[in-house]
Chain A
Amino acid sequence: MLQIDQATYDAIVEHAKRDHPVEACGMVAGPVGSDRPARLIEMVNAAGSPTFYEYDSTDLLHLYREMDDRDEEPVVIYHSHSATEAYPSVTDINLASEPGAHYVLVSTREHGNNPGPVEFRSYRIVDGVVTEEEVTIASSTEAAEESS
């Protein structure tokens, strides 16, 4: 199960809508071992494409160094699909390289840049096997209390 606070959830959705029709991508880091998505980092899609995303290689190195320095790890790795469902593609599965992370997919196919609901789904992708999991949204206060 992915447990995520409302503010982070909203920020991911807002990012996906803003970048539509290009795929938006980013990460939510959290303290090592906590499984708690705490710090959202929007990444630039270096591919700038409606059907592909890739972090810029220099940005990627900086991100991992920063997480190392802060004793964080990738808890959520998210990206959007702008014309298809929020389900991992073959490319997503083949390139998934963080077996401990929740892979979140948001589909903006229905409303694009406009207000309106999106599909927001989460998966584990380990050794090429995709397992969908429940997403639970906590109010930001609840999430903060739980972690304290």
Chain B
Amino acid sequence: MAIEVRIPTILRTYTGGEKAVNADGATLSALIDSLEANHPGIKDRLIEGADLRRFVNIYINDEDVRFIGSLEAELSDGDQVVILPAVAGGAL
């Protein structure tokens, strides 16, 4: 099973500069473990404790995973996954 994962600029240090890499997994959680196996350190940038980091957005076929089960969201062959850090901040 191959799923294309688009990597944002800030995380390309883990992928040798690659903008997209292949990974596999039946759930987002498994996919992230598969990413970690090939790109050590990346998991910690995506997950905090047992959850997706608050300011990291992951999309499966353009759907924000928070609306479709978060780390338990299901994946199938050919799905496209996009990772984007939130653009956020503020005075406090």
Contacts and interface: CB of A to CB of B under 8 A. Distances in A.
A98 interface: yes
Given A97-B10, A98-B9, A99-B9, A53 B84 contact: no
Interface in A20-57: 23, 25, 27, 43, 47, 49-55, 57
Contacts of A97: 8-10, 85-87
Contacts of B64: 57-58, 61
A98 B87 CA distance: 9
A60 B87 contact: yes
Given A61-B82, A61-B84, A64-B84, A53 B89 contact: yes
Contacts of B82: 61, 64
B92 A95 contact: no
B88 A53 contact: yes
Interface residues of B, number: 19
A4 interface: no
A60 B84 contact: yes
Given A60-B84, A61-B84, A95 B10 contact: no
Of residues B57, B66, B85, B90, which shows the largest number of chain A Cβ atoms within 10 Å of its Cβ?
B90
A39 to B, nearest CB: 16
Contact of B88 (A54, A82, A99, A100): A54
Given A57-B64, A60-B57, A95-B89, 14 more contacts: A23-B90, A51-B90, A51-B91, A52-B92, A55-B86, A57-B57, A57-B59, A57-B66, A89-B92, A91-B92, A97-B10, A97-B85, A98-B9, A99-B9
